[in-house]
Amino acid sequence: MVILKKKIILASKSQSRIKLMRSFGLDFDIVPSTIDETKVLFISELKKAKDIALAKAIAVANLFPLSIIIAADTYCVVNDQILEKPKNLKEAKEMLKMQSGQKVICQTGFCYLDGYNNFEVSKLISTEMNFRKISEREIEQYIFKYPVLEWSAAYHPDNVEGASFLKSVSGSFTSFFYGLPIEELVACLEKSDIEI
């Protein structure tokens, strides 16, 4: 009897997501989706991460139908305003000022398509963060020290300064930290009979 090795594809080039996936010791390929996110139809502007993640997964699944596709999309929301990746350092600075002393919602769209067993999981995971007041000097130092243009909301907690901006976090830590909800991913992998 031949046992088919299931092909797992991460539809993202995010280093944080790749790092998390590698922590499982999984054998997976990286095939970033190249969809135009501005063309994705969605019901709610504030919840569009789920629809974008699904669109990314479908685009890659069309190329590799007999595979397991994992896709995600993440951005932050402050006072009903979406903060995605800043276009320049000036915008990054403004985003950090907006988050200072505020409640910030990290929205992560998660999609898992199993082409072998023909099942799909598509969810929106919300994580609430409370930022302390951040000084102008701290913001200036942060934007010049770290690659803030690569991060949604110009922020990532994977450094001492970034972690120190937070007062509290409530919800999926890995959604916020890595852009991928580990608890959802593990459940899907188990359903696909993937050992981790």
DSSP 156-182: -SSSHHHHHTEEEEES-HHHHHHSS-H
Helical segments of the chain, H only: 15-22, 48-63, 89-99, 136-145, 160-164, 173-178, 182-191
pLDDT at res. 46: 78
Q: Which of 36, 73, 158, 193 is catalytic?
A: 73
pLDDT at res. 3: 46
Task: Answer whether residue 165 shows pLDDT above 80.
Answer: yes
pLDDT at res. 4: 59
For 25-59, the pLDDT digits (tens) are 889 999 999 888 877 877 787 789 999 999 999 99
Is 73 designated active site? yes
User: Could you tell me the residue ranges of all domains in the chain?
Assistant: 8-191
Model confidence at 88, in pLDDT bands (50, 70, 90)?
A: very high
Task: Answer whether residue 2 shows pLDDT above 80.
Answer: no
Domain 8-191, second-level architecture: Alpha-Beta Complex (3.90)
For 96-153, the pLDDT digits (tens) are 999 999 999 999 999 999 999 999 999 999 999 999 999 999 999 999 999 999 999 9
Entry pTM: 0.89
Model confidence at 5, in pLDDT bands (50, 70, 90)?
A: confident
Task: Answer whether residue 194 shows pLDDT above 50.
Answer: yes
pLDDT, average across residues 66-73: 96
Residues 6+ apart with CB under 8 A from 14: 72, 179
Residue the block writes with tokens 């598509």: 122
**In this predicted structure, which of 6-20, 32-46, 77-91, 106-120 has the lowest mean pLDDT?**
32-46
pLDDT at res. 47: 85
> Going by DSSP bridges, is the β-strand pair 8-10/29-30 parallel, antiparallel, or unpaired?
parallel
